Amino acid sequence: MTAGPLSRPQVPPGTEASVPAGESGPAEASIDGAASVDAGHGEAEPHHTAHHHAAHTWEEARRAAYDAATPIPSGPVALGAALGRRLDQDIVARQDMPHYASSAMDGWVVNGSGPWIPVEPGTRLAPHQASPIATGGLIPPGGKAVLRTESAVLGRDDDGLPVLMTGGKARPGEPRAGEHIRKAGEEALEGDILVKAGVELNPAHLALAALAGYDEVQVQGKPVVRLVLTGAEVVERGTPAPGQVRDTFGPQLPDVVSMLGGIPAGQQRIGDSYGEWLAALEDVVPGLPDAPGLPADVVITTGGTGRSGTDHLRRAVAELGGRLVIDGVAMRPGHPAVLAELPDGRFVLGLPGNPLAAMMALSTVGAPLLAALGHRAMPAVEEVPCGTMIEPDPGRTRLMPFRLLYGMAAPAQHTGPGMMRGLAAADGVLVVPPHGVQLGEAVPAFALPWGPPIQGAQEKPAKPKPRSNARTGQTKGKPAANEPVDWSALLG
């Protein structure tokens, strides 16, 4: 819901009154190595203490989300929807491919040597007979070779009857036996394995499956994700008036869901009433125009994670008989994130309304959940050397979008919970531990779903799924703490 004039008098929607000056990070960095980012939450946040209910640390929340889900079983999927899906059963040739001998050229199919007497297409050819054929045409019984149109001359014999001869551009000896005939089974024989299980299907695989006569392929399960965007103040177009806020989720969430391994399956917008919330979470297969009619495995809601009188997520989950898997995470931003499981097996991921907070909650809880449902390893956390000192913030992890400068991470500016500018310019997100970070120290960090692997990340061999294309060569060891750093690129 919105921060209306009564509910949050000091914090107009979209402003950063609750973000301490320190959040701007690099603005406070100095070039002499004494750069420091304040813990930065010492003021203007009475609600944070009032709602410090977070049951999970950042690491625990990731693990809890990953462990809550079991991989979605494999099933048949239409070829048109199978791109990028992981094949779960070999694709085999159901018959010889091609399954009949055909002409590779436009021209004449002939039997024996010329001249040939033309006969009706498709009829059995006796020696010295020929019939017209097009590329791909079925070779009739008795057809031994194909004479290309440009190598053929149709004339008349002494009796004035049509007769076919070689001529034109014909090479000596043309057509040789079998020339320009695509034999049956030359691509594959019945039973040959065409694509092995485990492969991620590309467009050519799909074409091959179609060539082999498949309408559907058996693929590993992948979570179908429906979005429920809440907030009566949220507008979808144009420049918002005071009190309104332009929707940041519609334009990005479906794509981010795809990048995280989900299948976005429609979005629904609701206001702030409890009835709307309950109906949206109850609805299993909504009649949404852009939904493929699939029941959702995950419903992602935005907004309404707070505990004010009009924030209805937990109440609706409880009324539907669901259980809370995660109810808040000791992190900032994004601490009100909720993960619930409904009795029908659907997960509800409640993202906070603040745009950056929502993306950090999605990275923390949503990414592991979607990975687990989609048969994938826990999303990787790399390490990157930190180009600034970050003070402790006991009890919570801070997620800080950063930019890389000379191989070191510098927290980005404009990273208040309601902002997107810092994330839009970021190379990744630092996972700053509660005890803070020393200058030059290696800090956990994760890549953005749309971004490249973190440059300069030190490869950890024990990763469940190491990135094969990680540009580890970029790391030139830890830069010396007193090495001068040019921060100017961050200040614009």
Ligand X SMILES: Nc1nc2c(c(=O)[nH]1)N[C@H]1C(S)=C(S)[C@@H](COP(=O)(O)OP(=O)(O)OC[C@H]3O[C@@H](n4cnc5c(N)ncnc54)[C@H](O)[C@@H]3O)O[C@H]1N2
Distance CA 446, CA 453 (A): 8
Of 64-72, 141-149, 334-342, 449-457: span binding ligand MOO (CB under 6 A): 334-342
Distance CA 449, CA 423 (A): 12
Distance CA 287, CA 96 (A): 43
Quick one: CA dihedral 367, 372, 377, 383, positive or negative? positive
355 binds, among ligand MOO, ligand X, none (CB under 5 to 8 A by kind): ligand X
Chosen residue from 264, 286, 322, 352 binding ligand X by CB under 6 A? 352
Question: SS3 for 449?
Answer: coil
Residue 219 phi, psi dihedral angles, 5° rounding: -125, 160
Contact pattern from residue 385 through residue 424 relative to ligand MOO, giving x for each residue in contact according to CB under 6 A and a dash for the rest: --------------------------------x-------
Quick one: CA dihedral 327, 329, 334, 340, positive or negative? negative
Neighbours of 469 (CB within 10 A): 8
Under the criterion CB under 6 A, does residue 334 sit at the interface with ligand MOO? yes
Total residues belonging to the chain: 492
Under the criterion CB under 6 A, does residue 254 sit at the interface with ligand MOO? no
Under the criterion CB under 6 A, does residue 99 sit at the interface with ligand X? no
Chain positions 280 to 339 lying near ligand X, rule: CB under 6 A, are: 302-306, 311, 333, 335-336
Give the binding-site size for ligand X (rule: CB under 6 A): 33
Closer residue to ligand X in complex, CB, 99/421: 421
Chosen residue from 37, 227, 351, 357 binding ligand MOO by CB under 6 A? 357
Closer residue to ligand X in complex, CB, 86/332: 332
Chosen residue from 26, 221, 266, 353 binding ligand X by CB under 6 A? 353
Closer residue to ligand MOO in complex, CB, 334/387: 334
CB 124 within 8 A of CB 140: yes
Tokens representing 167?
């001529």
Chosen residue from 333, 436, 440, 456 binding ligand MOO by CB under 6 A? 333
Q: What is the DSSP string of 90-137?
A: -EE-SS-BSSS-EESSSEEEEESSSSBEE--TTSPPPTTEEEEE-TTP
Residues that bind ligand MOO (CB under 6 A): 332-336, 352, 354, 357, 417
Residues that bind ligand X (CB under 6 A): 1-3, 13-14, 47-48, 50-51, 229, 231, 233-234, 245, 247-249, 302-306, 311, 333, 335-336, 352-355, 357, 417-418
